[in-house]
Amino acid sequence: MGKNDVVVFEPYPFTVGQKINITGGLRKGDWDVLDVTESKVRLRCPVSLREFEWDRFCYVVGKKKYAPIVSSD
C-alpha cells in the first residue's frame, strides 16, 4: 500500500433479526442480531444462547487514494 493510499471503514448496517457470521477475531462465529442502536449492537450466539452487547464495529469496505481536504476559506 502506497503512502497516499487510504483504507476506508464504515459502520456495518446491522438489522435486527439478521444472522451473521464473523470469520475472525474474538467475535468469530455465528450470531443473531438482537438489537441495534447508533452506538451498540447486541448479538446472541445461536448455540450457547449467550448474549453480548458491543460497540458497533466496522469492516474494510474499500481503498482509495488519499486526497487532502481542501479548505473553502
70 assigned to some structural domain: no
Query: CA–CA separation, 45 vs 21, rounded Å?
Result: 10
Per-residue pLDDT, 62: 60
Query: CA–CA separation, 37 vs 53, rounded Å?
Result: 10
The domain tally of the chain equals 1
pLDDT digits (tens, 9 = 90+) for 23-60: 888 889 999 999 999 999 999 999 999 999 999 887 75
CATH number of residue 33's parent domain: 2.30.30
Q: Which residues contact 52 (CB under 8 A, 6 or more apart)?
A: 42, 43, 44, 45
pTM of structure: 0.71
24 assigned to some structural domain: yes
**Residue 19 lies in domain:** 5-65
Residue predicted with more confidence, 61 or 44? 44
